[in-house]
Each structure stands twice: as C-alpha cells, then as structure tokens.
C-alpha cells in the first residue's frame, strides 16, 4: 500500500494506526456483530464509545468538570451563530479580525449582538496578528472572539489576549490539541474535527458551564441551545456517531504518544524544518510575518503564478498533495496537523530544493 503525503487543510490526514484500527472494526465492532455506523446511538455499546471519548478528551487536555464537552454538528460555521445566540446578555461582543473566518464570525454575530471589531490585520492582507492592548476591550462585553489559528493565511496567536473577566471565545478549528491547552484562559472553544482530531461531521465545543444559559428567548431553536446538548449528553438527536468514534481513536492515539506536550514537540519540529527551508530558499518565501507564523498551516509562494502551478504539479508526481493555496490567495499551503508524519515534511522540502535547482539563476 502506498499512501500519499497529505498536506490538505481539511478534511485532513489521520493517523495510520487509527485508520487500521477502524478498518479492523469496520464490519464487526469488538464482537458486537455490526459496525459503529449501524449502531443505535442509544445502545450500551455506543454509549460506552461516546463516554470514553469524552473522558479521554478531558484527560488529554486536562479539562475540569466545570467545563462541558459537547459533541455537536454544523461545523465551526454554525458556531458563528450559536455563540452570540447563547452568550449575548448585554448585547456586546468584541472581535479580533485575523482572516476570512474571523470576519465571517463577526458578520454573523452582528445579527444578534453589537459585534465590535477591536483590531484587524486586513490592511496587511492578514499576514500578521494585529496589534491591540487589553484596554481596547470593553469591560461589559459578553465575550471576546478570536480565530486562534488562521488556516488560509498561515498565522497564529502565540499569546492569548488579556480579556480580564470577559470570557474568551476561540475558534480552534485548525489548532485544537496541537499543543498543551490552558483551559482556564477560555470561556468557550469550538472546533470542527476534520483538520486536527478526526473526520468531517463532528463539531467539538468546550464551554465553561456557568456560561450555559437556560433563560434564552423562547424562539431560540432547541438544537441551537447549549443547554439542550448539555442536558442530553450530546444526544438530543442522533449525533455524528462514526465521526465521534474516529475522533475517540485519534484522541487515544495522542494519549498513547505522549499527550499534548509530545504533540507540540512533533509539530514544532515539522514547522521548524519547513520554515528553515523557506528562509534559506532563493525561490520560495513564506507569506506570514515571522512573529505570527502558524505551526499548523505554512503558506508560501514563488511570486510567479506559473512557477507555483508547476511546483504543485511536480510535487503531485512525488505523492505530495493538498498544497495548493486557498482559492482567494493562491500560492501554496502545507498543513502540518497532528497526524502528518515528519517524513512528509522532509519529502516536501526535498521537492522544493529540487524544483529550485531546476530554475535558471
């Protein structure tokens, strides 16, 4: 079996060990005589899967009992609406705009609350995290929202904003569980699973329980209330059962391979190699400001669209796929998520060097 080097930004690569376990259990899950995909979510076998997945997530990220772990659907995009619908009490929310998805979150929140942009790096084409201070945030805001890692532009917060007593809400869709998590710094974290911890279909929400309101307007749809999902153990309706199962296997894989400290070390090693190659190259250059560089998504280009396209074709012939940049920005993007092996980054760097040697001086 030959597997490609999959640098896709999502759905993304999964650990080979996880895929092999899933393959072994696909037809008959642990002697139950059926696949997890066929199981009733109310069965004792599936109840054991979802409860174990939550326990392992809590262990992996050291999540205390005063935070709820919710298994939802709708992707991170649905959270752009659910967050303001559920957290707006005073009708104010502050946003740091670092890219496309942060903009989308602010635009959607504006339908439900006074969504104020505190700082934006749009004038820099989102190549850096914008500058701001703690004094910029409103003390009476319901929450402050950030997109912690920016998949499209290759930037990342390396220090969380000081929001005081105002809850910090973070979209961690492309960086969740890539490094140790100081959960006490957040009021709410949401993430689509399909980039770093599982397949498409599952949205993970980690929320401080005191933020889960029961006094929402009567017109609030039941499935868009966090208290609905908390009160039903994430099974008010049929959850994305197979996505949760696979995510549970990925979380167990992370635990078995040293936890989040080890994940950070592996991710830093991968990123260091690729950034070193870029910094030493006479042809390729990274697009993100050095102080804002992401460990998860490395964006780069040659400055010549035809050469970019030629390199992408050359890399594909070597089994390197998923490096084409986001459609609105072009260039290349290499996503270095948890499951991507170091050897894949080595292969990409070698391809870059070989392509560069072929170019005229």
Out of 56, 94, 101, 324, pick the active-site residue: 101
Residue 170 main-chain phi, psi, to 5 deg: -125, 130
Phi-psi sector, 74: left (phi>0), alpha (psi -120 to 50), beta: left
**101 included as an active-site residue:** yes
Tell me the C-alpha distance between 241 and 124, whole Å: 42
Q: Find out whether 127 and 100 touch, Cβ atoms under 8 Å.
A: no
Work out the number of other CB atoms within 10 angstroms of the CB of residue 280. Answer: 11
Q: For the packed helices 16-25 and 241-256, what is the interaxial angle rounded to 10 degrees?
A: 130
Out of 142, 171, 270, 324, pick the active-site residue: 171
**195 included as an active-site residue:** yes
Tell me the C-alpha distance between 222 and 36, whole Å: 27
**66 included as an active-site residue:** no
Out of 94, 142, 195, 253, pick the active-site residue: 195
Among 9, 311, 321, which residue's Cα sits nearest to residue 154? Answer: 9
Catalytic residues: 101, 171, 195
């Amino acid at each position: 079996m030959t597997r490609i080097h999959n640098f896709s930004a999502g759905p993304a690569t999964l650990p080979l060990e996880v895929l092999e376990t899933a393959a072994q259990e696909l037809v008959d899950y642990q002697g139950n005589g059926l696949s997890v995909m066929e199981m009733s979510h109310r069965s004792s076998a599936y109840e054991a899967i979802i409860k174990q997945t939550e326990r392992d997530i809590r262990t992996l990220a050291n999540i205390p009992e005063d935070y709820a772990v919710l298994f939802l659907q709708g992707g991170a995009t649905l959270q752009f609406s659910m967050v303001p619908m559920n957290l707006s009490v005073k009708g104010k929310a502050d946003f740091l705009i670092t890219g496309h998805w942060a903009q989308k979150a602010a635009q959607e929140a504006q339908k439900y609350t006074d969504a104020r942009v505190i700082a934006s790096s749009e004038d820099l084409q989102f190549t850096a995290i914008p500058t701001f201070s703690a004094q910029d945030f409103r003390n009476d805001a319901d929450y402050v929202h950030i997109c912690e890692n920016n998949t499209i532009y290759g930037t990342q917060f390396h220090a969380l904003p000081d929001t005081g007593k105002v809850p910090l809400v973070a979209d961690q869709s492309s960086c969740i569980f890539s490094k140790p998590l100081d959960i006490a710094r957040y009021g709410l974290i949401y993430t689509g699973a399909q980039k770093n911890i599982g397949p498409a279909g599952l949205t993970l929400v980690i929320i401080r329980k005191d933020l889960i309101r029961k006094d929402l307007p009567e017109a609030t749809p039941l499935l868009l209330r966090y208290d609905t999902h908390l009160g039903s153990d994430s099974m008010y309706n049929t959850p994305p059962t197979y996505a949760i199962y696979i995510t549970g296997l990925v979380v167990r894989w992370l635990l078995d391979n040293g936890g989040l400290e080890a994940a950070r070390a592996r991710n830093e090693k991968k990123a260091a190699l690729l950034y070193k190659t870029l910094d030493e190259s006479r042809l390729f250059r990274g697009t993100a400001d050095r102080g804002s560089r992401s460990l998860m998504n490395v964006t780069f280009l040659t400055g010549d669209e035809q050469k970019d396209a030629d390199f992408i074709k050359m890399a594909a012939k070597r089994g390197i796929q998923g490096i084409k940049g986001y459609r609105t920005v072009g260039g290349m993007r290499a996503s270095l998520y948890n499951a991507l092996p170091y050897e894949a980054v080595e292969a990409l760097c070698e391809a870059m060097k070989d392509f560069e040697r072929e170019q005229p001086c």
